[in-house]
Structure 1
C-alpha cells in the first residue's frame, strides 16, 4: 500500500441504510478489508434517518454482506464489524453534523493521531446541496492529518439534474474542496471491460488504424434493464432515465470508445481526452430533438409507489448523436436505455463498413459485415463477428465469433467489483476513473437542451418485458 493510505482513516457513509450502501458499498468495503487494501486503522460511521443502535447497524451490515458473500467466515465478519459505528440523524440538521464531529474526535483518540476523512454521499442528488452547506458550516471538511493526510468526498451520479443545477453544486463543492479532493462516481468507468477498451485500442496494432469514419458505419451503445422502477419509483419520478444513466454511464461509454490516444495512463491525460470528446458532441436542440431522440414509458409506471398518476417521466430513451471531429465525421452513435425491458444488457457494438469488393457467394442475401462488441454486463468480454467458408465443396460463408470472456478465463476471480475499485482508488487518491468538473459540465451541456425540449415531445408507451417502444430514428 502507498504511504498515504497507511494513515488512519475515518469513512462516513451518508445514507448508510439505503439500497446502495446495503447492496454495494458495505460488501465492497468488506472485500477490500479482507484483501488488506484498506488502511490498517479504519473506522466506518453510518449516518441515516433510521433509528438504529451500533449493534443493530452491525447486524444490518452483516446481513448485507451475507447476501453478497454467503461464504464469508464468521471470524472475518466479527473483526470487520468492530470498525463500524452508527448515528441516526437528518441531513438538514446541524446537530447531526455536530454528532459526526464528536465521533471523529473519538475515533482520533482511539487512533492516537488525527485521521483522514472520507465522506461518501450514498444519497439521492436532492440532498447534495444541503449536505455540502452543512459540511462547510461545521468545518468537518478541514483536514488535520498533517503531511500526507487528506479529506475527500465521494459523490454518486447523477451530479445535479441539469446544467444550471450542476454548476451551482460545483460552486458550492469548489468552496469546500480542491478538485483533487472531489471524486464524482460513475461506477461504469470501473468496469473491467470499459477499462480494457483503451488497452484493446491502443496496445494492439490490429484495430486502431481502422478506428475511424472511413471504416466504421455506426456504433450502438446500450444500457438495458429487465428490472422495473417499482423499488425506486420516487427516485425515478424525480430523475428519469436520461439523467439516471444517459448523462453519465452512456456518455462515459461513448468517450471510452472514441477518445484519442492519451499517451499516458495519468488521470489528467485520460480525463482531458474524455472531456474533448464530450465537448465535441454535436448539440441536439429545438426541432432536432424530435428528429434525433425518442422517449418512452412502460405501461404501469404511473401506478408505481411514489410516481404521479400523470407522470411524463421517461423510463426509456433512444438518441442518435454525432461527434464532430475528423476521426468520427458523420458516424452515427446510437444510445439506448430503458427499464422493464426483455433483457438486461450493457454493451458497445461497433459496426464496420462492408468491403467494396467482397469475395462472397453470388446472389447472397447476407450482409457480410464485421461487428465488434464490448460486452459490459451481464458477462464481461469482447467478441468479434467475422466470416469464414463453410467446410465442403460449395463456397458458402458462415458467420463465426472470436471471443474473450472474463467468465471463462482463469482471471475471473481476480476482477475487483466496480465499487471495490472506486473505494480503493479514492483512498489512493487516483482520480482516473472519476469524472472531472469539465466532464460533468460538458455532459450536461449536451443533455440539458434535450431535457428542456422533451416536455413537448411525444411520450411513447411500451409493455413490460418488450424491446421497448417501436420508434425509428433516421440512421
Structure 2
C-alpha cells in the first residue's frame, strides 16, 4: 500500500499532518509501524527537518519492543571537518549511531562489494596483497560529461568534496583494508575506518608534489558559476597509508569532469618479476606487469592481465586477460535498491560510519584549505590528461 503526504521543510503544519498520517496508518494496521526517513536534500536543511521530526515524535519508536525509526542521509556529509562534526553531533542528539545510515551509493555497486570477497576468499591473491609485490594502486573516476545544470551546487563544493571525500576514499579503504574476518557491519566498517585513519597527511610543503587540480575550459560560463571561479572540476592526489602492509605504495586517486572517456575503476599494479623470463630488458618495468582491475563502470567486472608465450618458434611474450562481467552473470540490482533494502533490514555494512566520515574529512580538509597554493590547470573538454592538456 502506498500513500502520499505533501509538505514543506519549514512548515509546522506539514509535520503535524505527517504525524497524523502515520498515526492513521498505525491505527488501520493495528501495529506499531517502522519509519525510514530519507533526507535527499542539501545538508543545510537537515537541522530544521530533524528538529521538527523530533518535536513531533516521529523519530522515536512507537513501542518498546516493536517498530523502529531510522534515517538515510545523503552526501555530502558536511563541507569540511568542522562542519561534518557539527552535523554528526546534531544527528547524534536525535538518533543513535545504529539508526543513522549515511548513503554512499558506490558501496552498493557489485564490483565494489566483491572486492572483499575477491581478496579474502581466494588464497591465490591475498598473500601478494602487500608492498612486497604491489608497485602502485590507481583509483580513477572519470567522466565525459560536464557539470550540466549543477552550477550552484558544484561551484560551492568542487570535485574533491563531491566525490573524493566519499566515493574514492571508500574505494581506497576496501582495496587496502585488513581482513574483517566476519561479514558483519561493525567489523567491516571498523576496518575501513582504520585504513582511512592511516592515510598520511599531505603537508603544505609537499602539496605541489602530491596534488594536481584543474578546471575544464568553459566551466565559468555555466549558469550560477562565479565568473572568476577557481573551483576544481579535476583533481589527482598521490596518497599513501602508514600501515605495515602497504608501506611505501603510492595510491593515485583521480577524478574529473569533461574528459575523453567515462570510467570508474581500481587498478592494482604488481611489480615486474625479477628476473623476468623472456621479458625484453628495456621494457620490463613498463610493459610486463600483472594488473588486476576492478571496473565499476561501464561494463562492471574484474580483469587480470597476465603474460604467456606467443605461439611460434621463439619465446616472445604476449598479453592476455582473464575477465568476468557482472551483466553476464545473474541479476543486477541498482545501488539504491540494495541500500534501501539494507536500511530496512538494519544492515549498515554499505553505509559510512561516523569514524569513517571524520577520518576522511581529516585527510581532505587540509588539502582544500591550501588549494590557493596550487596552480589551477585549465584543460579542454575531451582531454585525456589535464597536465599537458592532451
TM-score when normalising by structure 2: 0.95
Contact 2:139–2:252, Cα closer than 8 Å, also in 1: yes
Q: Counterpart of 2:315 in 1: which secondary structure? A: coil
Alignment correspondent of 1:257? 175
Matched, 1:87 2:6: yes
Matched, 1:348 2:266: yes
Alignment correspondent of 1:371? 291
Q: 1:306 deviation in Å?
A: 1.8
Contact 1:383–1:404, Cα closer than 8 Å, also in 2: yes
Alignment correspondent of 2:328? 408
Q: 1:362 deviation in Å?
A: 4.7
Matched, 1:435 2:352: yes
Q: 1:304 deviation in Å?
A: 1.1
Contact 1:296–1:459, Cα closer than 8 Å, also in 2: yes
Of residues 337, 348, 357, the one that matches 1:420 is 337
Alignment correspondent of 1:389? 309
Contact 2:32–2:66, Cα closer than 8 Å, also in 1: no
Of residues 230, 238, 244, the one that matches 2:162 is 244
**Residues 86, 364 of structure 1: CA spacing in aligned structure 2 closer, same or farther, 3 A cutoff?**
same
Contact 2:308–2:320, Cα closer than 8 Å, also in 1: yes
Q: How far, CA to CA, are the matches of 2:231 and 2:177 in structure 1?
A: 32
Alignment correspondent of 1:467? 384
Q: How far, CA to CA, are the matches of 2:34 and 2:128 in structure 1?
A: 47
Q: How far, CA to CA, are the matches of 2:243 and 2:21 in structure 1?
A: 52
Higher relative contact order (CA 8 A, sep 6+): 2
Alignment correspondent of 1:284? 202
Matched, 1:133 2:25: no
Q: How far, CA to CA, are the matches of 1:362 and 1:426 in structure 2?
A: 53
Q: 1:146 deviation in Å?
A: 4.2
TM-score when normalising by structure 1: 0.79
Q: Counterpart of 1:87 in 2: which secondary structure? A: coil
Contact 1:371–1:384, Cα closer than 8 Å, also in 2: yes
- Unpaired stretches in structure 1, ≥5 consecutive residues: 1-41, 43-82
**Residues 181, 238 of structure 1: CA spacing in aligned structure 2 closer, same or farther, 3 A cutoff?**
same
Q: Between 231-240 and 211-220, report the one with greater CA deviation.
A: 231-240
Q: 1:443 deviation in Å?
A: 0.5
Q: How far, CA to CA, are the matches of 2:41 and 2:3 in structure 1?
A: 19
Q: How far, CA to CA, are the matches of 2:363 and 2:388 in structure 1?
A: 22
Q: 1:462 deviation in Å?
A: 1.1
- Unpaired stretches in structure 2, ≥5 consecutive residues: none
Alignment correspondent of 2:110? 192
Contact 1:226–1:343, Cα closer than 8 Å, also in 2: yes
Q: 1:378 deviation in Å?
A: 1.1
Alignment correspondent of 2:372? 455
TM-superposition CA deviations, 1:22-63 (whole Å, max 9, x none): xxxxxxxxxxxxxxxxxxxx5xxxxxxxxxxxxxxxxxxxxx
TM-superposition CA deviations, 1:98-137 (whole Å, max 9, x none): 2322222232233233311110011122322332233233
Aligned residue runs from structure 1 range 3-402, under 5 A = 83-89=2-8, 91-362=9-280, 365=283, 367-402=287-322
Q: How far, CA to CA, are the matches of 1:445 and 1:226 in structure 2?
A: 30
Q: 1:364 deviation in Å?
A: 5.5
Q: How far, CA to CA, are the matches of 1:327 and 1:186 in structure 2?
A: 26
Contact 2:5–2:17, Cα closer than 8 Å, also in 1: no
**Residues 286, 94 of structure 1: CA spacing in aligned structure 2 closer, same or farther, 3 A cutoff?**
farther
**Residues 117, 355 of structure 1: CA spacing in aligned structure 2 closer, same or farther, 3 A cutoff?**
same
Alignment correspondent of 1:20? none
